[in-house]
Structure 1
């Protein structure tokens, strides 16, 4: 029997390039689907960092013209097989070999080219998968293009389409001019409202929502939240039209990468049966940052982009209070200057309690997950979140705000029966966060047996991609037979 084939199309993915959680998904989910018997392939742009670091490992595949609207260009395609998954990389030096992945004035043209080049690649390979699975706005027009621009071929019309929203805040909104210039489509799709979004604009994401067979988000709660005005980012009315085809499937984590028992970056590996060895990582991290080495003080970790979305303005409002207790903070991240400046201030004011590393450092991220007792994640909204999954898997209890995937994955502490895998608060204010923070510290210091029981419950949870991949396979079968 022929394997079911799925083509992932995404703007980034591990192990090649990453700016956010999308890359983790692309690095993990296809691998798990391949393990479960699917023919899985991935298409990505070939960015500057990849051209420098990886190009010599790639195999040449094909070159062909891409012509649509104002795009008259050549695509070169390379490939590499990783963990049973074939990755294709579309090369266009002017568009993709830049310092950053996104945020340029010509992003509509860059990702218009990428989407057309992906469709042309299928023709060049004579490979037409059962399902194309697109991700976020950078690839959202592909379901639309397959049913319009490329509909002259039955093979394109027959492909089933799944579109995943990882973060609704970014929708690929551009001036209506780009409907023709970047996608090569008639202005009639703007006039009749299909592509139109706001005054004089189109939305790539709207095209994905309307033309995919199924629309998914990365947690069940986020799938409900985005139908509301609070979280809908002005797309809620469009999403409401697809309510019955909107599915939430929570992300997993890659146990090959995130496993306290085998993690190469840890001073001492451990699992639930050797949980006492976790403290060696705590002492090592304290020494690394010049904090007093004390295995009994509660160590609070953060690995995050430092933005409003991630809830760090709530934290800075009450940080003076939070630091009055017997605590230590270790923070890894960068982002908005006001938050960074606040953290630099507290680093100077509380050198024995507060450590801040500006930027990103992969080994240090692993060490913080392993060394911390409590992991702080007060997000204002969080489609899924991966950090809380990693922290629980490492025996570090998360403290989260009740939104999106954080609701679906963290079971709040119940003092009556000692159940729970973390702590959570529901308000959007700093006082709500402070209350549950105080509860967490009280539990750590006064009810250590409850804390240990929660660590056991957290580490026994299965956050691997296996269960989530099975849900995607079911979804693919539902639409393609």
Structure 2
């Protein structure tokens, strides 16, 4: 099949979050299975600063009523995959991808509606007729709508797959602020109260809709877990599926990780204690090998469960434990964590920032990894934690439920709680501490079970292959 990825970020090229990980890993895995894969993405300033790429066609022109858009198509070969860039300085030559520091760009609706149209124009300009255009998140959610109303005939045999990576981000914008769409003859049916919800349009017009874990797909069909999309998704139940993201074990492997002071494996866990000592040292915590260390690396947002964590910190530090939290985000959460770290310097460390080195060291040096998310479409850190023998403590939501088996089961790999409350999280952490202190042999066996668990992109790619075939 001829598969085109329309996506806003690809790891190695440009990245703000987990979407980029998928943007790299899934095309590579499909290519390895023999599929013909191409990528179309914006030509951001950060890319222009890194790469001086040649244009592969004459300047392209898109017309909408009352407006003319011109852009160039640039090209590079990346891991044997052709990548085409939509170069429109007016839209993408900015310091951030979606925001200026903490505030989203006011014209994001216009920027990415234009990008969706430019993808279709690009494929015609290079004469590439795809069997599948795989769209990702709200940034490309208008593409299935535009393709469904395309009258050129070029896409007569093209189907669209739309993947929801996080349904909380829906691309809701006033139509009158989107010149690219507001005069489209079929757009008014997508408008409610003057606003257009791009994610909803993607769900309505895509041939197939996917999300990034089977359990998150089930949650999206419920009123509670759907982020307000329940009715729209229920109407597409037969075309909705959840395919679990894979983990890049070339980057996340304790036997080869370049950031670790010592390497270790399921057969030899002893060097993990060196990683713990170095993590304690770098976090200015006492170097106590026998004290359980709970780590956390994430964006500091409500979604990640800080509404459950902050109320129980005083109770937690009554136990003989240490905690290290690394991340950036909500200024109020940062302030609360910083103040608590000052009050409890021998038990609690907060690193306000992010570096790959610290992220890898937390995964290797901690005994437990904390992910008490409100919702979590897939999650990757719990997969990394399992690979590193760092036992996850998670809430039973989304992909966390698909990947972590509670300690109470014979094949347990972590500690899982259900209720979205601080008390439920505190109880779960206490269960974990009890297992650490009271049965070291069983705890070690659980670590090894986690390290032998694999969630591969090859498996995910095979599921997408089957989905593409069912679509065409």
Partner of 1:348: 342
Q: Structure 1 residue 33 and structure 2 residue 30: aligned?
A: yes
Q: What is the distance in 1 between the residues matched to 2:324 and 2:55?
A: 44
Unmatched segments (≥5 aa) in structure 1: none
Cα deviation digits, residues 180-238 of structure 1 (max 9, x gap): x2236535542xx3x13x42211221221111111001111111111222122222111
Paired residues for 1:294-305 under 5 Å: 294-305=288-299
Map 1:208-247 onto structure 2 (within 5 A): 208-247=202-241
Map 1:82-481 onto structure 2 (within 5 A).
Answer: 82-102=78-98, 103-148=104-149, 150-153=150-153, 155-177=154-176, 181-183=179-181, 186-190=184-188, 193=189, 195-196=190-191, 198-414=192-408, 417=410, 419-480=411-472
Deviations 1:124-172 (A, max 9, x none): 1101111000001110111111121x2322x312111100001111111
Query: Contact 1:393–1:463 at 8 Å: present in 2 too?
Result: no
Contact 1:146 1:157 in 2 (8 A): no
- Root mean square deviation of aligned Cα: 1.5
Matched-pair contact (CA < 8 Å) for 1:412–1:424: yes
SS in structure 2 at match of 1:281: helix
| CA shift for structure 1 position 456 | 1.2
Partner residue, 1:10? 7
3-state SS of 1:157 partner: coil
Take 1:398 and 1:158, find their aligned partners in 2: how far apart are those partners?
A: 45
Deviates further, 119-128 or 71-80: 71-80
TM-score, normalised via structure 1 length: 0.94
Distance 1:76 1:188 in 2: 27
- What is the CA–CA distance in structure 2 between the aligned matches of 1:188 and 1:5, rounded to whole Å? 28
SS at match of 2:147: helix
- After TM superposition, give the deviation of residue 61 of structure 1 in Å: 2.3
From the superposition, tell whether residues 71 and 325 of structure 1 become closer, same or farther in structure 2 (CA, over 3 Å).
farther
Contact 2:175–2:181 (8 Å) recurs in 1: no
Structure 2 Cα separation of the partners of residues 141 and 464 of structure 1: 30
Report the TM-score, using the length of structure 2 for normalisation: 0.95
Closer, same or farther: CA 413–69 of 1 in aligned 2, 3 Å: farther
TM-superposed CA distance for 1:112, in Å, is 1.5
User: How far apart are the structure 1 equivalents of 2:91 and 2:66?
Assistant: 14
- 1 CA distance for matches of 2:28 and 2:66? 36
Deviation at 1:349, TM superposition (A): 0.8
**Mapped partners of 1:264, 1:86: distance in 2:** 29
Q: How many residues align?
A: 466
CA–CA distance in 1 between the matches of 2:65 and 2:327? 41
Residue 99 of structure 1: how far off its partner (Å): 2.4
Query: Distance in 2 between the 1:162 and 1:188 partners?
Result: 21
Q: Deviations over 1:374-424 (max 9, x none)?
A: 000010011111111111111111100111111111111116x4x311111
1: distance between equivalents of 2:366 and 2:54? 42
Residues 31-110 of structure 1: pairs in structure 2 closer than 5 A? 31-52=28-49, 54-56=50-52, 58-62=53-57, 63-69=59-65, 71-102=67-98, 103-110=104-111
Q: Tell me, yes or no, if the aligned pair for 2:294 and 2:366 is still in contact at 8 Å.
A: yes
Question: Which SS does the other structure have where 1:455 is aligned?
Answer: helix
Deviation at 1:317, TM superposition (A): 0.3
Unaligned segments of structure 2, at least 5 residues: 99-103
Pair 1:250–1:70, CA change in 2 (3 A)? farther
- Residue 15 of structure 1 and its aligned partner are, at CA, apart by 0.9
Equivalent position SS for 1:134: strand
Distance 2:289 2:56 in 1: 54
SS in 2 for 1:273: coil
